[in-house]
Structure 1
Amino acid sequence: MRRKAGIAAIALGMALLSITSAAAEPGVDHSGSLPAGFLWGVAGSGFQSEGYSPDSNWSRYAASGKTHDPVGTSADFLHRYRDDIARARDLGVGVFRFGVEWARLEPAPGQYDPAAWAFYDDVVATIRAAGMRPMITLDHWVYPGWEFDRGGWRHADMLTDWLANARQVVDRYARFDPIWITFNEPSAYAFEEMQVGGLGPADVSGAQDRWVRAHRDIYDYIHAAQPGAQVSSNVAYFPVGEAAVDTTFLDRVADKLDFIGLDYYNSMSPTDFSFFNAFAEPWKANPAPDGIYYALRHYAERFPGRPLYVVENGMPTDNGAPRPDYDRSDHLSDAVYWVQRAVRDGMNVIGYNYWSLTDNYEWGSYEPRFGLYSVDVRNDPSLTRVPTAAVDTYRTIIANGGVPGDYRPVYPQTVCSLVDELASCLRPAR
């Protein structure tokens, strides 16, 4: 997951905000079970969930006081991965997304840690033994501390070093037929690095050029090692300004994406200004579950027929406290309703991952909680996994292939959500 509010607020200035009335679409029953081959999953990342972080750019950001909380143990996926993978299996999901952390694998230039390889070997084997398919992220915003000393993505040789590591990961795990995510949310990656000092504004263009080259190279390498592979780079969907943001990465690799990976969390609307406080307090942002429909429609129309996969979707709460307006179970059901509506309307949506299986480190703080299983890292040394009501809800949804045909969303539709710019205003889904 990532903090999006800052980018979207900037993007707002790039778009013309006008609201035009539109007639509602004819009343149609758009719900119904999803196809049998639909992929249900859970998502997480290495740095955010593993804990006991090795030297990296992000462990340095946390140690420097630029974050609210130290990383520490996080949810300790490093030692509890078998139990967490079993929890995912018991939900009935078919896809388990995680990251293979370069900083853990290569703690010094050219020196790979056998124990780190053994850890990821067993993670992949355990996922496969549980009947699930791995979704492996190669870069979820974290790189080794020694690369940080060299300048990180400012440094031209970073591309060569990144590819050398990524190729080793592919060589080792391609035989398990994973789904691959190359770079997690490249636009948000750039913004986050600027926030914490990894990149300056003048460095962003060069870093994005390297990410484009890295993606294109590793895409071909994966397909050579794993014929029929599914490879993408997930998009952080930014209301209002997505079309402008796309040009920095997505449009430059569009011919090397086997599906469009989409992350969606909230919308913004001229009738709801909570979004602008959500950078510091994301649990106050309007979750606008109907916005996932417009985000999917945006890419269905830009890439007709291309498979679409919701790689991340979820809802934060404030340190585990209930939201006054909405609960996780209803949010999950509503989101799935709108995914079903998208499929019913002809969009080629092939999968949905919930972010996240457990609460984890949200890039500087343990306060935002996204987990199906609650973990109080700040106050509970035992790191007990406490199931939320959404656990049973997701299990039922998966077993039934979606929400029931007579389900209607709990959360009201957002008036002109500005997802897909003005499309939600001009062509609202009813």
Structure 2
Amino acid sequence: MLVDAAVRPEEFPPDFVWGAATASYQIEGAATLGGRTPSIWDTFCAEPGRVVGGDTGDVACDHYHRYGEDVGLMRTLGLAAYRFSVSWSRVLTPSGEVNADGLGFYDRLVDEVLAAGIDPWVTLYHWDLPQHLEDAGGWPARDTAARLAELAAVVGGRLGDRVGHFITLNEPWCAAFLGYGNGIHAPGRHSAADAVAASHHLNLAHGLSVQALRAAAPDALVGTTLNLYPVTAAFPGADSEDAVRRIDGLQNRWFLDPALLGSYPDDVLADLGALVAPTLIQDGDLGTIHQPLDFLGINYYTRHVVRPSAYPGTNAGEFTHRGLPTAANGWEVDPEGLTEILVRVARDYPALPLFITENGSAWDDTVEADGSVVDADRLAYLAAHLAACARAREQGADVAGYFAWSLLDNFEWAEGYAMRFGLVHVDFATQRRTVKASGEWYGRFVRAARDILSP
């Protein structure tokens, strides 16, 4: 599948941020080294049937030992920025003390990234909750929000002299509803009430962590990252439109509104009804969540297409497709949706710089006899979505940067190693890295765009 999209570096401003992204559990490995304790993903992976192939993140890309090589790849690609997350259970012990070895790893990583002329962007929480906190109640427990603020204070205090951008959360919708609602992500719980409670406490953790980061790293810029989807009706009709409203409300507005407007949407509160426990949203919570932000991160992969459920009374709606080409994981390739969501956020919410903090696609990559990986579909996907960013800018959205997902093929959560999103191919048996054709193209594009600074 090839997408015809003409996009030129000249369509982006000289200060546009060009990067790639990863996450700690997906690449680091070294699961028991340096004082790291188990996270919910270690526990989840150990349960038979949870992850495709029984895969785990125990070794992953061995980035813990190979970060120097990986930073060299970033330099080869000409990246201006690198977004990564810290492993909470590597940084803090179960007693809440700082693990010097674990925090020291991120010290070294930041220094290596800076020495390569690349700006580090640090995400505090990318789904790997320490298992001891899950044992104490996890995200459905209010205290977990305060614990993330403690991590923010430690990481901000140690790295804030060199890190200019911090992201509080990555995709809290996934952490709450996939982890505690339908159980396909760690910790694998199945409780609608727990999922709603987790979503509020993640929002609260965001606000508390912004406050902690402002105090610990006053010169840094702080934002959060949400996975946003335009939601489209599969066919016209009042039932379809209500399904769109419900899905959009819980997927998008439930997180955008409290962070950027200081309130939960009334219609979603009504939809959730008794799932919102009387004591869940306490006095002052919305003020805490609604912290001034310096930017908003948006992760985009595809669009939600919904229709009324075929079984009335059981579900508000069902997901379907529009008949577009699909990537290896079944997600439709829909770059127009990226333009739509960017323009909508710019239109409906207070003005902020918008950064695409993840965007990418999985394909069935083939290693050729000469060792190369010619991934034309991923290359076309990147080009089409960069063109979508350019169109959003033309329509008034302040799109200020783009981070490709992902730098490396890695552990893709419940899909294990079955899905490859990387610009760089990883042979997990040997840990050999090979830049794919998409990575070479992205590198040329990035270098051409950065050359605009000094023609």
**Same fold per superposition (TM over 0.5):** yes
Equivalent in the alignment of 1:38: 16
Quote the Cα distance in structure 1 between the aligned partners of 2:328 and 2:165. Answer: 29
> Is residue 210 of structure 1 aligned with residue 201 of structure 2?
yes
Equivalent in the alignment of 1:258: 294
Q: Indicate the SS of the match to 2:427.
A: coil
Q: Indicate the SS of the match to 1:177.
A: coil
Equivalent in the alignment of 1:398: 446
1:155 to 101, 120, 141: 141
Equivalent in the alignment of 2:427: 376
Quote the Cα distance in structure 2 between the aligned partners of 1:67 and 1:275. Answer: 28
Q: Which amino acid aligns with 2:28?
A: E
Q: Can you give the 5+ residue segments of structure 1 that lack an aligned partner in the other structure?
A: 1-28, 405-430
Equivalent in the alignment of 1:95: 81
2:251 to 245, 251, 254: 245
Kindly indicate whether the alpha-carbon contact (under 8 Å) linking 1:231 and 1:259 is maintained by their aligned counterparts in 2. yes
1:225 to 183, 208, 216: 216
> Is residue 117 of structure 1 aligned with residue 103 of structure 2?
yes
Quote the Cα distance in structure 1 between the aligned partners of 2:300 and 2:227. Answer: 7
Quote the Cα distance in structure 2 between the aligned partners of 1:31 and 1:45. Answer: 27
Q: Indicate the SS of the match to 1:80.
A: helix
Among the aligned pairs, what percent are the same residue? 31
Equivalent in the alignment of 1:318: 364
Kindly indicate whether the alpha-carbon contact (under 8 Å) linking 2:227 and 2:298 is maintained by their aligned counterparts in 1. yes
Quote the Cα distance in structure 1 between the aligned partners of 2:140 and 2:162. Answer: 34
Of 148-157 and 264-273, more deviation after overlay is shown by 264-273
Equivalent in the alignment of 2:412: 362
Q: Aligned pair in 2 of structure 1 residues 188, 275: CA closer, same or farther (>3 Å)?
A: farther
Q: Indicate the SS of the match to 1:215.
A: helix
Quote the Cα distance in structure 2 between the aligned partners of 1:31 and 1:100. Answer: 32
> Is residue 388 of structure 1 aligned with residue 436 of structure 2?
yes
CA deviation string 1:191-245 (max 9, x = no partner): 2212142462111232222222221122123223333532222111233133442
Deviation at 1:30, TM superposition (A): 10
Q: Which amino acid aligns with 2:164?
A: P
Quote the Cα distance in structure 2 between the aligned partners of 1:314 and 1:109. Answer: 38
Q: Aligned pair in 2 of structure 1 residues 109, 198: CA closer, same or farther (>3 Å)?
A: farther
Kindly indicate whether the alpha-carbon contact (under 8 Å) linking 2:141 and 2:201 is maintained by their aligned counterparts in 1. no
Q: Indicate the SS of the match to 1:357.
A: coil
Q: Which amino acid aligns with 2:45?
A: A
Q: Aligned pair in 2 of structure 1 residues 318, 245: CA closer, same or farther (>3 Å)?
A: same
Q: Which amino acid aligns with 1:347?
A: A
Q: Can you give the 5+ residue segments of structure 2 that lack an aligned partner in the other structure?
A: 1-6, 32-36, 232-246, 261-289, 308-318
Quote the Cα distance in structure 2 between the aligned partners of 1:113 and 1:198. Answer: 29
Equivalent in the alignment of 2:268: none
Kindly indicate whether the alpha-carbon contact (under 8 Å) linking 1:41 and 1:97 is maintained by their aligned counterparts in 2. yes
1:305 to 351, 355, 363: 351
Q: Aligned pair in 2 of structure 1 residues 62, 294: CA closer, same or farther (>3 Å)?
A: same
Q: CA RMSD in A?
A: 3.0
TM, length-normalised to structure 1: 0.79
Q: Indicate the SS of the match to 2:205.
A: helix
Deviation at 1:312, TM superposition (A): 0.4
> Is residue 329 of structure 1 aligned with residue 307 of structure 2?
no
Equivalent in the alignment of 1:132: 118
Between 1 and 2, higher relative CO (CA 8 Å, sep ≥ 6) is seen in: 1
Deviation at 1:112, TM superposition (A): 3.2
Deviation at 1:63, TM superposition (A): 0.3
Q: Indicate the SS of the match to 2:123.
A: strand
Kindly indicate whether the alpha-carbon contact (under 8 Å) linking 1:313 and 1:354 is maintained by their aligned counterparts in 2. yes
> Is residue 56 of structure 1 aligned with residue 47 of structure 2?
no
Kindly indicate whether the alpha-carbon contact (under 8 Å) linking 2:379 and 2:437 is maintained by their aligned counterparts in 1. yes
Kindly indicate whether the alpha-carbon contact (under 8 Å) linking 1:359 and 1:370 is maintained by their aligned counterparts in 2. yes
Equivalent in the alignment of 2:25: 47
Deviation at 1:86, TM superposition (A): 1.4
Kindly indicate whether the alpha-carbon contact (under 8 Å) linking 1:99 and 1:136 is maintained by their aligned counterparts in 2. yes
Kindly indicate whether the alpha-carbon contact (under 8 Å) linking 2:177 and 2:199 is maintained by their aligned counterparts in 1. no
Quote the Cα distance in structure 2 between the aligned partners of 1:318 and 1:239. Answer: 26
Quote the Cα distance in structure 2 between the aligned partners of 1:199 and 1:130. Answer: 44
CA deviation string 1:76-126 (max 9, x = no partner): 111111111111122111110111111112243234322211111101111
Kindly indicate whether the alpha-carbon contact (under 8 Å) linking 1:102 and 1:143 is maintained by their aligned counterparts in 2. yes
Deviation at 1:304, TM superposition (A): 5.3
Q: Aligned pair in 2 of structure 1 residues 251, 393: CA closer, same or farther (>3 Å)?
A: same
CA deviation string 1:351-373 (max 9, x = no partner): 00000000011112111100000
Quote the Cα distance in structure 1 between the aligned partners of 2:323 and 2:124. Answer: 31
2:340 to 294, 318, 336: 294
TM, length-normalised to structure 2: 0.75
Kindly indicate whether the alpha-carbon contact (under 8 Å) linking 1:319 and 1:366 is maintained by their aligned counterparts in 2. no
Deviation at 1:305, TM superposition (A): 3.4
1:284 to 327, 330, 340: 330
